[in-house]
Amino acid sequence: MENKILDINKLNVDYLTERSSINAVRDFSMHINENEIFGLVGESGSGKSTVIKSILRILPAPGVITKGEIRYNNQDILEFDESKLSSLRWSHISVVKQKALNSLNPLLKIKEQIIDTMQAHEQIRTKDAIQRCNALMDLVEIDRNYLNSYPHELSGGMRQRVVIAIALALKPKLIIMDEPTTALDVVIEKEIILKILDLKSQLGFSLLFITHDLNLILGFADRVGVMLEGELVDIDSAEIIKSGGNNAYTKKLINSIPDLSNYNQSKTNKNEPELIHVKNLIKSYSRHSSIFSSDKFHAVDGVSFNVNKNEIVGLVGESGSGKSTISKILTKLIDFDGGQLLFNGEDVSGITKSKDLLAYRKKVQMIFQDPFASLNSIHTVYHHLSRPILIHRLYNKHSKKERDEMVLKESIDILKEVNLSPPEEFLYKFPHEMSGGERQRIALARALLVQPQIIIADEPTSMLDMSIRMEILDLLKSLQAKKGISILFITHDIASACYLSNRLIVLKNGKIVDSGVVSEMINNPKDKYSKLLIDSCESGWFINQ
> Interface residues with other proteins (CB under 8 A)?
56, 58, 86, 89-90, 94-95, 97, 99, 102-108, 116-117, 120-121, 150, 152-153, 163, 166, 288, 290-292
Cβ at position 133, least distance to other proteins in Å: 14
Cβ at position 86, least distance to other proteins in Å: 5
Residue 153 or 404 having the CB closest to other proteins: 153
- Inter-residue contact 349 to 313 (CB < 8 Å): no
Q: Which residues pair with 4 in a beta bridge?
A: 33
Cβ at position 101, least distance to other proteins in Å: 8
Cβ at position 505, least distance to other proteins in Å: 34
C-beta atoms surrounding 288 within 10 Å = 7
* DSSP label of 265: -
Residues 6+ apart with CB under 8 A from 323: 315, 316, 317, 458, 490, 492, 507
Cβ at position 97, least distance to other proteins in Å: 6
Cβ at position 120, least distance to other proteins in Å: 5
- Inter-residue contact 343 to 360 (CB < 8 Å): yes
* DSSP label of 266: P
Cβ at position 267, least distance to other proteins in Å: 47
Burial of 297 (C-beta count, 10 Å sphere; 0-12/13-18/19+): exposed
Residue 97 or 531 having the CB closest to other proteins: 97
Residue 106 or 345 having the CB closest to other proteins: 106
Residue 103 or 308 having the CB closest to other proteins: 103
Please give the single-letter amino acid code of residue 224: V
Residue 52 or 518 having the CB closest to other proteins: 52
Cα–Cα distance, 491 to 65 (Å, whole number): 40
Residue 291 or 378 having the CB closest to other proteins: 291
Cα–Cα distance, 260 to 428 (Å, whole number): 39
Compute the half-sphere exposure of residue 98: CA atoms within 13 Å on the CB side of its CA: 8
Residue 163 or 241 having the CB closest to other proteins: 163
Cβ at position 44, least distance to other proteins in Å: 17
| Angle between the N-to-C axes of helices 126-139 and 110-121, in degrees from 0 to 180, rounded to the nearest 10 | 120
- The phi-psi region of residue 270 (left if phi > 0; otherwise alpha if psi is between -120 and 50; otherwise beta) is alpha
Cα–Cα distance, 82 to 56 (Å, whole number): 11
- Inter-residue contact 338 to 278 (CB < 8 Å): no
Cβ at position 87, least distance to other proteins in Å: 8
Q: In what order do the strands lie in the sheet with 37-42?
A: 93-96, 174-178, 206-211, 37-42, 223-228, 231-237
Cβ at position 103, least distance to other proteins in Å: 4
Residue 208 or 253 having the CB closest to other proteins: 208
- Report CA Rg, the chain: 26
Cβ at position 11, least distance to other proteins in Å: 19
Residue 288 or 397 having the CB closest to other proteins: 288
| Distance in angstroms between the alpha carbons of the first and the last residue of the chain | 33
Cα–Cα distance, 244 to 222 (Å, whole number): 16
DSSP letters, 446-481, are: HHHHT--SEEEEESTTTTS-HHHHHHHHHHHHHHHH
Residue 87 or 524 having the CB closest to other proteins: 87
Residue 103 or 496 having the CB closest to other proteins: 103
- Inter-residue contact 479 to 444 (CB < 8 Å): yes
Cα–Cα distance, 103 to 162 (Å, whole number): 10
* DSSP label of 350: T
DSSP letters, 21-43, are: EEEEEEEEEEEEETT-EEEEEE-
Cβ at position 300, least distance to other proteins in Å: 25
Residue 105 or 266 having the CB closest to other proteins: 105
C-beta atoms surrounding 498 within 10 Å = 25
Please give the single-letter amino acid code of residue 49: S
- The phi-psi region of residue 73 (left if phi > 0; otherwise alpha if psi is between -120 and 50; otherwise beta) is left
Residue 93 or 504 having the CB closest to other proteins: 93
Residue 89 or 508 having the CB closest to other proteins: 89
Cβ at position 150, least distance to other proteins in Å: 4
C-beta atoms surrounding 194 within 10 Å = 14
Cβ at position 432, least distance to other proteins in Å: 21
Please give the single-letter amino acid code of residue 500: L
Q: Which residues pair with 490 in a beta bridge?
A: 315, 458
